[in-house]
């Protein structure tokens, strides 16, 4: 989750202001105790009871100064004097970062710490429920389109287009097309889809016959001897046309017709030849190579990426494009499928848990090293200031408490001495 820089800057300014206020309170309490001590010391001969006040103030100053030294020594040298074992954070930040990284690695990035949380987290339902909501799917689809647009603007070039063309050409050359065509046709024949080809041929023959009735009649009349009467020619014409029409009707309606059986056998023979006949496969590969070497095909392969990139660039630039809508609908359907299917839901959860467990087990040292390496990259002075900004306000309460506790401790000791 990213943080707005303006909000972060405002938070730091607010924290800095609160820290200064707490420092003024703690320092002001020390000054107050010093004033009380001086006043009590000046008037103790007139009012001996002020001895108790002076003891309280004196011990308070000692406690305040001791805790001021302790708090200040964390972040810098007190009064700028390089006293040993002071300025701990800027001097020891690398060691502290390494210690923190080891602590995280040994106590958090371990199966016993992760497993209970992973087992109690329904990743699949959370993700699928969120993704099945239209506005969320739209947002993810919009982000994908943005990434795609950036990617196209970054990597699209003439070199990439040439690389796509050469890879497509090499891939197509490596594929033995003829057996593949045979297997596709085998699937079509097994599903009886090839009969549609026979139906189309019968339909085309009927149409051709209808369109050429006059030509057939004229041909019979022309080829018939002059002495044959016209009614005989008409009878021959009707007989031929009716016989052809009847044959086409029988072929079109009778699945067991000899022509259909012959067509099925021929189709099977062609398919088997495509799948296993070396000569047929060789001729198919030669035809494929001839097509791939044709200038038109070469140009088409060169333009493939150009057309794809142009389409993707245009679609990804539109907020409500067809591509974005399809991605959104696909994501929403995926979310709905996983949300409503308990088996898929459990499988996805198991996969995510296994993946996280594997990643943590394999890379936990690298994950933890991010902490130590990040801390090492920090500037010592900036690190000290940043840490003080975040925890210094709470540390000022140590100074305040030290002032008060020291005062009461001094008062108790003074009173005890007086009683003895």
Please give the pLDDT value at position 229. 63
The last residue of one of the domains, among 264, 279, 294, is 279
pLDDT at 307 over 50: yes
Cα separation, 378 vs 65, whole angstroms: 30
Please give the pLDDT value at position 145. 84
Give domain status of residue 203, yes or no. Answer: yes
Give domain status of residue 131, yes or no. Answer: no
Cα separation, 326 vs 288, whole angstroms: 35
Name the more confident of 3 and 132: 132
- Mean pLDDT computed over every residue of the chain: 78
Task: Return the structure tokens found at 192.
Answer: 């009886």
Give domain status of residue 47, yes or no. Answer: yes
Give domain status of residue 329, yes or no. Answer: no
Q: What is the pLDDT of residues 308-341, one digit of tens each?
A: 777 777 877 777 788 888 888 888 888 888 777 7
Name the more confident of 149 and 12: 149
Q: What is the pLDDT of residues 259-293, one digit of tens each?
A: 777 877 777 787 787 777 888 778 877 877 777 77
Q: What percent of the chain is predicted at pLDDT more than 90?
A: 8
State the average pLDDT over residues 21-41: 91
Please give the pLDDT value at position 1. 40
Name the more confident of 159 and 137: 137
* Global pTM value: 0.45
Task: Return the structure tokens found at 360.
Answer: 């943590």
pLDDT at 196 over 70: yes
Give domain status of residue 142, yes or no. Answer: no
- How many independent structural domains does the chain possess? 2
Give domain status of residue 95, yes or no. Answer: no
The last residue of one of the domains, among 279, 309, 324, is 279
pLDDT at 192 over 90: no
Name the more confident of 217 and 272: 272
The last residue of one of the domains, among 263, 279, 295, is 279
Give domain status of residue 58, yes or no. Answer: yes
**What range defines the domain where residue 218 resides?**
175-279
Give domain status of residue 196, yes or no. Answer: yes
State the average pLDDT over residues 297-315: 74
Task: Return the structure tokens found at 100.
Answer: 């923190």
């Amino acid at each position: 989750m990213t943080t707005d820089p303006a909000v972060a800057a405002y938070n730091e300014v607010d924290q800095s202001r609160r820290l200064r206020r707490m420092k003024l309170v703690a320092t002001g309490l020390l000054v107050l105790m010093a004033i009380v001590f001086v006043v009590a010391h000046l008037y103790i001969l007139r009012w001996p009871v002020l001895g108790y006040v002076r003891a309280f103030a004196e011990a308070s100053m000692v406690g305040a100064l001791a805790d001021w030294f302790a708090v200040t020594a964390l972040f810098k040298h007190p009064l700028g004097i390089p006293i040993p074992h002071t300025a701990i954070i800027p001097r020891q930040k690398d060691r502290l970062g390494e210690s923190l990284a080891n602590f995280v690695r040994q106590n958090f990035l371990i199966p016993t710490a992760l497993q209970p949380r992973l087992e109690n987290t329904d990743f699949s339902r959370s993700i699928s429920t969120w993704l099945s909501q239209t506005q969320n799917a739209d947002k993810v689809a919009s982000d994908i389109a943005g990434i795609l647009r950036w990617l196209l603007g970054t990597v699209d070039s003439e070199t990439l287009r040439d690389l796509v063309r050469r890879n497509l050409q090499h891939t197509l050359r490596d594929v033995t097309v003829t057996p593949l065509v045979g297997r596709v046709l085998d699937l079509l024949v097994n599903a009886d889809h090839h009969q549609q080809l026979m139906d189309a041929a019968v339909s085309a023959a009927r149409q051709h016959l209808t369109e050429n009735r006059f030509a057939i009649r004229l041909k019979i009349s022309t080829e018939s001897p002059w002495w044959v009467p016209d009614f005989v020619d008409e009878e021959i014409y009707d007989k031929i046309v009716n016989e052809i029409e009847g044959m086409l009707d029988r072929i079109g309606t009778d699945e067991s017709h000899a022509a259909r059986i012959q067509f099925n056998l021929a189709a099977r023979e062609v398919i088997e030849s495509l799948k296993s006949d070396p000569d047929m496969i060789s001729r198919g590969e030669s035809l494929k190579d001839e097509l791939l070497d044709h200038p038109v095909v070469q140009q088409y392969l060169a333009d493939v990426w150009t057309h794809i990139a142009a389409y993707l660039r245009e679609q990804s630039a539109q907020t409500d494009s067809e591509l974005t809508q399809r991605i959104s609908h696909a994501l929403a359907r995926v979310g709905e499928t996983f949300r409503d299917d308990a088996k898929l839901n459990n499988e996805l959860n198991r996969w995510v848990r296994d993946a996280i467990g594997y990643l943590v087990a394999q890379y936990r040292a690298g994950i933890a090293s991010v902490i130590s390496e990040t801390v090492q990259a920090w500037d010592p002075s900036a690190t000290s200031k940043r840490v003080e900004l975040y925890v210094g306000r709470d540390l000022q309460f140590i100074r305040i408490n030290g002032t008060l506790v020291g005062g009461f401790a001094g008062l108790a000791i003074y009173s005890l001495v007086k009683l003895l």
